[in-house]
Amino acid sequence: MGNILDKFKEDLSVALDYSKNDKIRVGIIGTGWIAEAHVASYKKCPDVEIVACADLIPGKAEKFCEDNGLDVSKIHFYPSHKEMLDVEELDCVSVCTYNMTHAECTIYALNKGVNVLLEKPMCVTLDEAVAICRAEKASGKVLSIGFQPRFDPNMKMVKKIVESGELGEIYYIQTGGGRRRGIPAPFGTSFIQKETAGIGALGDIGCYSLDMVLNAIGYPKPLTVTGYKSDFFGKSAKHSNIPQYADIFGVDDFAAAFVRLEGGIILDFRIAWAMHLDTPGDTIILGKEGGLRIPSTECWNGSIGGPMTIYHDVAGKQVETIIPEIKSDTDNFYLKIRSFLDASMSGGEPPVPSSQILYNQAIIDGIARSSELGREIELDIPEI
């Protein structure tokens, strides 16, 4: 009889485990510029404890934590992601490294059973993206990609307009963005060197423009790409905004592409860190019932650059409907972190799933390869 009743006793090992994990144990991999935004948001979460930080540069993680008001006596420091993940029992990590180490850090963390928030762009190549998605699937853990514009009401409005059916069936999209002179080198050269960045404007800001429109239309699979990329400004001591780095500039500063998507949709794309022009133009989404114009925007912060316009016919008349820009005070960086934590702890759907961003990365990779080959290529994206 006693044995039968034992079956209904509380399992204390589980209870102990839970109390040990009372706070979400977070580690930061890569303590550079963007890690500051991650830490600022984690600090707003009372259920989070930052317990470990790793950076390849000796002393950088320690100084980073001091500068960002963290109690360094409570944090363990490591010389790379491997040492940290081999030793620490973490619930979640932020991968805030430069692009070229996104894949290895993310895959290592997932293999260790840790949930990952991975900064954008997802990685550099399609092969890496596929390996990341496979590691995520095998781990059963949550992986979310760091696209903070997704949480902005204006970006959500773009998707709502498309989903409302107001535009009808979508058949053509033009998107992209750019700067007249804006090659980034905020705290060093990790964005512009081949060994650290791997890709330039194409991945850095191109991924946001692609996400804005692809997310709105439900991320159809990309099929073919004709791509072009160049580096005239970065390599020019005359025209670069960072001429002191002309000799080491090793990525693209401009890219353009013509992409065919499943469902017969055409995507016309261009992106620039630098060019002899202020903007490559507005984003337009054409459907059989209406067209949407989104003013030129870099969109990394969720901005749509001004009021949007829907062009449609009402009672036989051609009319325009203005959609005002929403004055938003949402903290998109905080929402990106909080939604990742909530998904991780509940085992829920990642807020920005890798299954979508795999297609974003496939286009980026396709543009780079097509440009090198000088011809259109078919995209071969394996099922995960």
Ligand X SMILES: NC(=O)c1ccc[n+]([C@@H]2O[C@H](COP(=O)([O-])OP(=O)(O)OC[C@H]3O[C@@H](n4cnc5c(N)ncnc54)[C@H](O)[C@@H]3O)[C@@H](O)[C@H]2O)c1
> Is residue 29 involved in binding ligand X (CB under 6 A)?
yes
Place of tokens 């002309």: 246
Looking at beta carbons only, is 92 or 96 nearer to ligand X? 96
CB neighbours (10 Å) of residue 320?
11
> What is the DSSP code (8-state) at residue 326?
P
Q: How far apart are CA 377 and CA 384, in angstroms?
A: 21
* Min separation Cβ 203 and ligand X, Å: 7
Contacts for 247 with CB less than 8 Å, ≥ 6 apart: none
Looking at beta carbons only, is 204 or 365 nearer to ligand X? 204
CB 102 within 8 A of CB 78: no
Nearest Cα to 279, choosing from 300, 304, 296?
Answer: 296
DSSP β-ladder status, 265-272 and 143-146:
unpaired
Convert residues 318-357 into a mask of x (bound to ligand X by CB under 6 A) and - (unbound). ----------------------------------------
Looking at beta carbons only, is 184 or 222 nearer to ligand X? 184
38-57 positions binding ligand X, by CB under 6 A: 54-57
> Is residue 176 involved in binding ligand X (CB under 6 A)?
no
> Is residue 32 involved in binding ligand X (CB under 6 A)?
yes
Closest CB to ligand X: residue number: 32
Looking at beta carbons only, is 103 or 161 nearer to ligand X? 103
Convert residues 180-209 into a mask of x (bound to ligand X by CB under 6 A) and - (unbound). -------xx-x-------------x-----
Place of tokens 């980026």: 364
Q: Can you tell me which of 94, 101, 215, 356 binds ligand X, judged by CB under 6 A?
A: 101
Q: Is 123 helix (H, G, I), strand (E, B) or coil?
A: coil
For 349, half-sphere exposure in the C-beta direction (CA atoms, 13 angstrom radius) is 5
> Is residue 297 involved in binding ligand X (CB under 6 A)?
no
Q: Is 146 helix (H, G, I), strand (E, B) or coil?
A: strand
> Is residue 77 involved in binding ligand X (CB under 6 A)?
no
Q: Can you tell me which of 249, 273, 300, 359 binds ligand X, judged by CB under 6 A?
A: 300
> Is residue 34 involved in binding ligand X (CB under 6 A)?
yes
* Min separation Cβ 37 and ligand X, Å: 7
Phi, psi of 39 (to 5 degrees): -65, -40
> Is residue 81 involved in binding ligand X (CB under 6 A)?
yes
> Is residue 120 involved in binding ligand X (CB under 6 A)?
yes
Q: Can you tell me which of 68, 80, 297, 344 binds ligand X, judged by CB under 6 A?
A: 80
Q: How far apart are CA 191 and CA 234, in angstroms?
A: 11
Which range in 4-12, 25-33, 175-183, 310-318 contacts ligand X by CB under 6 A? Answer: 25-33
> What is the DSSP code (8-state) at residue 181?
B
* Min separation Cβ 365 and ligand X, Å: 15
* Min separation Cβ 18 and ligand X, Å: 30
> What is the DSSP code (8-state) at residue 148?
G
Angle, CA of 4, 5 and 7, to the nearest 5°:
75
Size of the site for ligand X (CB under 6 A): 29
> Is residue 252 involved in binding ligand X (CB under 6 A)?
no
Q: How far apart are CA 332 and CA 41, in angstroms?
A: 10
Nearest Cα to 83, choosing from 62, 99, 105?
Answer: 105
* Min separation Cβ 46 and ligand X, Å: 24
Looking at beta carbons only, is 188 or 324 nearer to ligand X? 188
146-175 positions binding ligand X, by CB under 6 A: 146, 148
> Is residue 365 involved in binding ligand X (CB under 6 A)?
no
Phi, psi of 222 (to 5 degrees): -75, 140
> Is residue 105 involved in binding ligand X (CB under 6 A)?
yes
> Is residue 128 involved in binding ligand X (CB under 6 A)?
no
Strand 254-261: give its sheet, edge to edge. Answer: 317-323, 308-314, 290-294, 283-287, 170-178, 265-272, 254-261, 222-230, 377-378
Q: Can you tell me which of 60, 156, 270, 293 binds ligand X, judged by CB under 6 A?
A: 60
DSSP β-ladder status, 317-323 and 308-314:
antiparallel
Nearest Cα to 359, choosing from 254, 267, 253?
Answer: 267
Where along the sequence are the contacts to ligand X (CB under 6 A)?
29-35, 54-57, 60, 80-81, 96-99, 101, 105, 119-120, 146, 148, 187-188, 190, 204, 300
